Amino acid sequence: MSERPLSFLDRPNSYIGRSVPRPNARRLLQGRGTYVDDIRLPRLLHAVFLRSPYAHARIAGIDTAAASRLPGVVRVVTAADLAGLYTPWVGTLSHLKGLKSAPQHPLAQGRACWQGEPVAAVVAESRAQAEDAAAQIAVEWQELAPLASAEAALASGAPAIHAALGDNLAFARAVDTGAVDDAFARADAVVAETFTFARHTGVCLEPRSILAEFDRSERRLTLHCSSQVPHMMKEIAARHFALAETDVRVICRDVGGSYGIKIHVYPDEMATIALALLLGRPVKFVADRLESFVSDIHAREHRVAARMAVSKSGEILAIDIDDLTGIGPYSTYPRTSAIEGNQVVNLTGSWYRCANYRARLRVAFQTKPPMSQYRAVGHPIACAVTEGLVDLAARAIAMDPAELRRRNLIADDAYPCTSPAGLIFEKLSHQRALARMLELMDYAGLRREQAALRARGIHRGIGLASFVEITNPGPAFYGVGGAPISAQDGCTLRLEPGGAVTCAISITEQGQGTETMVAQIVASVLGVALERVRVVTGDTERTPYGGGTWASRGAGIGGEAALQAAKALRANILDLAGAMLQAAPADLDIAQGWIVDAVSGARRIGLDEVGRAGYFRGDTLPPGIQPELVATRHHQPRDYPFAFTNGVQASWLELDIETGFVRLLKHWVVEDCGRVVSPLLVDEQIRGGVVQGLGGALFEECLYDGEGQLLNGTLADYLVPMAGEMPDIEVAHVMTPLAGTELGAKGAGEAGTAGAPAAVMNAINDALAPFGATVAEQPFTPARILRALGRT
């Protein structure tokens, strides 16, 4: 007789049948005092950072003696005190060929490279005591020449910010497809403009914050942090602090706004973790509003010289752009600071039928705060450049700008197709969206009204902007480059004994309604009331592994995982109910918390009865029936590298030519984000995105002087859009469900931001048309508008 194969339980490495030590038993035996110290509840400490007042300066010496003597101060640390606790990080990705950056550290190593870089940390019993002590730290500074602009950083003879890198060019890319020069040579008209975009930042309602607690007895690190990506943060903490992945837990519950600001690794947050490990006590850091302006990542600082060739019949023949951007002294980790510029190159002109495309990108180091991903990464820049050129081209050949778009937008039956820069579009609806927009806004009627008002000296403008939005990114976005960023999301559903459902999902909640959206999907599939579904997010020990929330991926990836998990749990519930009722599962359904007859809808038994039987009364079930009332499913995009949302925005505004002030009258959005799970949430996400885009177009700018000093680092000086300045925003949809998923959802979180600046720019320039003036420098402030009019 042959031997029975070994089961998993019988294998040599199995723990079954072996005596094993209780976890941490060895530590218990090392001495009573040590053990008692380890389990005593430690008091919370507060960290405050001394930041560089200079954009570029050498640290000749730091005297912490006076600060250390103040009441309540537990420790004052500089870079040397944290040596050996961590490994530095470098913000590069292998698939971005040529991208380089210097290693980064929690505290500046002998030199500060931007105003706001953390130099020393004070840990005290209270925040006030820590702040008082930080003010007593004496630093001997030796100022170095700043390189505040990308132009200065790349100028001939400019010193390298990081000598080991050789120069200040962090990344460069070129695209040249088709016959660009030939297209420009045969064009009936060529238009050109230099578009300038101001550096600005996210201004989240809740600033960045972290509480790090290290349990020395178990070598367990727990992080409570304001982050969009708990599993990424877990991987990074384990990797850079020499901890096992299983010894790190990250908890990010309801985050008060993020917009991409909270997907990056920040020096002060890594320093807080290091301090918790060093001291063995919980350490908390919360950025105040003033330091947020100089420590949160910035975005959008680009100068794009662009040209477009067009025929007199309205065919776009070629597009040529040259993008220069400055990213601060380091590329951020782990997503890098090259993605925004890379997106500009990928996206510009991609929604039009134009095969001749040339682009050059240069990404420069500079002595300002690091720049990186912020809501609609690169999209507002690419959209404004493209759509600004389209309006200029329409004016050059005397064609209505809506008609020029209609003639050049990719046809709705032309998919799948690939853009000149290599983006693969599965199925979009530009023509339908444009037609819907012109009807929604009564475009012809507005043109008549505009003409009548101009005759009376009232200057109103109409601006259109078509766009695409990258959503649902797959592994090709970051994972292929070596970043610990998951492209999948997971969902675990559990039927409780009382008939309620607990849903643990890896996407996170930052106020956009993730938990509501997921609950809607689960409740719909399982046939239970919405209030009977509890959604758990933002905890690496309670949720499956996943990428979190960024790049408008929540519904498209997380929602699909929830749908598939719900279908699996539904099948399991019906199998069990069928066994209990001696009925075929196919003859049963679930509705309003009941197992019902699939044909008549007659109620048979409640879900609570099914749950109790499965958990407590297995003795009543037929032989061979094993209740499975927990189901987990994951989803990862595989068919295409990305999914794309598309749409059109329009702006109607009035311009006061005497003051340069713009009054927004109405804004419209037509968007195709696939299947809309929650219409109210989607529309409000779009409106919020539009408002954020309008902020960048009209108000927001981090103003720096030539020395790299921020001039408006408070909310008294840094303008954000307010409700009283915003127009009514009307949202409509066309729907093209995403293929390859059953839910068919695409993203909707960033498209509003992507198209709004371009629509407003074109509306302002439309209002300026009678004066032969244009503006192309964002934000479009009254001073810049008056300058364009020659009135300043």
Instruction: Tell me what pLDDT residue 455 has.
Output: 97
Q: Judge whether 234 lies within some domain.
A: yes
Phi, psi of 456 (to 5 degrees): -100, 10
**289-324: per-residue pLDDT in tens?**
999 999 999 999 999 999 999 999 999 999 999 999
Phi/psi for 164 (5° steps) reads: -65, -20
Does the pLDDT value for residue 19 go beyond 70?
A: no
Q: Is 323 helix (H, G, I), strand (E, B) or coil?
A: strand
Q: Looking at residue 307, what is its pLDDT?
A: 98
Cα atoms in the Cβ-side hemisphere of radius 13 Å centred on 138: 3
The count of domains in the chain is: 3
Please tell me whether residues 585 and 627 are part of one structural domain: yes
Q: Are residues 688 and 712 part of one domain?
A: yes
pLDDT, tens digit, 9 for 90 and up, residues 482-536 = 999 999 999 999 999 999 999 999 999 999 999 999 999 999 999 999 999 999 9
Q: Please list, in sequence order, all residues whose beta carbon lies within 8 angstroms of the beta carbon of residue 193, skipping any fewer than 6 positions away.
A: 305, 306, 388, 389, 392, 774, 776
- Of 236, 263, 295, the residue at which a domain comes to its end is 295
**Residue 364 and residue 414 in one domain:** yes
Residue 18 confidence (pLDDT) above 50: no
Q: Are 650 and 539 in the same domain? A: no
Q: How confident is the model at residue 7 (pLDDT cuts 50, 70, 90)?
A: very low
pLDDT at 3 over 90: no
Q: How far is CA 395 from CA 230, 605, 762, 770, in A?
A: 49, 69, 11, 12
Tell me what the mean pLDDT of segment 1-17 comes to.
44
Quickly list DSSP for 589-605.
EEETTEEEETTT--EEE
| pLDDT higher than 50, residue 373 | yes
- Region 646-673: mean pLDDT is 98
- Please tell me the predicted confidence (pLDDT) of residue 29: 32
On whether residue 182 sits in a domain, the answer given is no
pLDDT of residue 12: 52
pLDDT at 41: 58
pLDDT of residue 37: 36
495 in the same domain as 576: yes
Contact 374, 750 (CB under 8 A): no
For residues 407-428, average pLDDT? 97
Condensed to tens digits (0 to 9), the pLDDT of residues 41-87 reads 579 999 999 999 999 999 999 999 999 999 999 999 999 999 999 99
Q: Tokens 């959802």, residue?
A: 745
Q: At what angle do helices 514-526 and 560-581 cross, to 10 degrees?
A: 30
* Model confidence, pTM: 0.94
- Among the three residues 586, 607, 635, which one is the final residue of a domain in this structure? 635
The confidence band for 792, taking pLDDT boundaries of 50, 70 and 90, is: confident
Domain end marker among 635, 662, 682:
635
**What confidence tens digit (pLDDT) does each residue in 555-613 have?**
999 999 999 999 999 999 999 999 999 999 999 999 999 999 999 999 999 999 999 99
Same domain, 653 and 682: yes
Question: Could you tell me if 113 and 244 lie in one domain?
Answer: yes
pLDDT of residue 476: 83
Mean per-residue pLDDT over the chain, rounded? 94
Half-sphere exposure of 630 (CA within 13 A, CB side): 5
pLDDT tens for 171-193 read 999 999 999 999 999 999 999 99
Looking at the fold, whether 470 and 499 belong to one and the same domain comes out as: no
| pLDDT for the residue 157 | 96
Residue 330: inside a domain: yes
**Does residue 179 sit within a domain?**
no
pLDDT of res. 418 = 97
720 is in which domain, residue-wise? 298-476+639-788
The predicted pLDDT at position 477 comes to 87
Domain membership of residue 440 (yes or no) is: yes
Q: Give me the CATH number covering residue 542.
A: 3.30.365.10
Q: How far is the C-alpha of 345 from the C-alpha of 63, rounded, in Å?
A: 47
- Asked if the structure places residue 552 within a domain, the reply is yes
Q: What is the CA radius of gyration of the chain?
A: 29
Mean pLDDT of 461-471: 98
171 occurs within a structural domain: no
Confidence class for position 639, pLDDT limits 50, 70, 90: confident
| Claim to verify: residue 280 and residue 343 sit in the same structural domain | no
Report the 10 Å Cβ neighbour count for 606. Answer: 15
Residues 534-542 have a mean pLDDT of 98
**Is residue 150 domain-resident?**
no
> 658-675 burial string, b = 16+ CB within 10 Å, else e?
eebebebeebbbbbbbbb
According to the model, what pLDDT value does residue 247 have?
A: 98
Q: 716-766, pLDDT tens digit by residue?
A: 999 999 999 999 999 999 999 999 899 999 999 999 999 999 999 999 999
Neighbour tally for 521: CB within 10 Å: 27
Rounded to an integer, the average pLDDT of 260-264 is 96
Edge-to-edge order in the sheet of strand 57-63 = 111-112, 57-63, 138-143
Same-domain pairing of 333 and 409 = yes
Of the chain, the end-to-end C-alpha distance in Å amounts to 100
Helix (H, G, I), strand (E, B) or coil at 75: strand
Do both 263 and 394 map to the same domain?
no
Distinct helix (H) and strand (E) counts, the chain: 20, 30
**600/683 same-domain check:** no
